[in-house]
Amino acid sequence: MKIGILISGRGSNMTAIIEAVRDQRIPDAEVSVVISDKKNALGLEKASERGIETIVVARKNRTREEHDAEIVNELEKRGVELVCLAGYMRLLSKDFVRAFPEKIINIHPSLLPSFPGLDAQRQAIDYGVRISGCTVHFVDEHLDHGAIILQKSVEVTNEDTSATLSAKILEHEHTLYVEALRKIVGGKCQIIGRRVVFEN
Ligand code: GRF
The CATH number covering residue 185 comes to 3.40.50.170
CA-12 nearest atom, ligand 1: 14
- pLDDT for 189 equals 85
Model confidence, pTM: 0.97
Distance of alpha carbon 53 from the chain centroid: 18
> What's the total number of domains in the chain?
2
| E strand map for 17-174 | 30-36, 54-56, 82-85, 104-108, 131-138, 148-155
Q: How confident is the model at residue 159 (pLDDT cuts 50, 70, 90)?
A: very high
Element (H, E) at 47: helix 42-49
Which residues fall within 8 angstroms of residue 15, CB to CB, at 6 or more apart?
A: 43, 46, 47, 50
In this structure, are 97 and 115 located in the same domain? Answer: no
Please identify, among 85, 101, 117, the residue that sits at the C-terminal boundary of a domain.
101
Please identify, among 78, 101, 124, the residue that sits at the C-terminal boundary of a domain.
101
Q: How confident is the model at residue 188 (pLDDT cuts 50, 70, 90)?
A: confident
- Is residue 9 within 8 Å of residue 43, measured between CB atoms? yes
Ligand 1 surroundings by CB, under 6 angstroms: 7, 9-14, 43, 86-87, 107-109, 170, 173
- pLDDT for 50 equals 98
Please identify, among 50, 72, 101, the residue that sits at the C-terminal boundary of a domain.
101
Parent domain of 27 = 1-101
What single DSSP character describes residue 24? T
Which residues fall within 8 angstroms of residue 112, CB to CB, at 6 or more apart?
A: 135, 137, 144, 145, 148, 151
In this structure, are 112 and 189 located in the same domain? Answer: yes
Q: Does residue 148 surpass a pLDDT of 90? A: yes
Choose the residue to mutate in 45, 173, 176, 181 for probing ligand 1, maximizing ligand atoms within 8 Å of C-beta.
173
Mean per-residue pLDDT for 118-130?
A: 98
Q: Does residue 146 surpass a pLDDT of 80? A: yes
Q: Does residue 107 surpass a pLDDT of 80? A: yes
In this structure, are 83 and 123 located in the same domain? Answer: no
In this structure, are 91 and 20 located in the same domain? Answer: yes
- Is residue 169 within 8 Å of residue 109, measured between CB atoms? yes
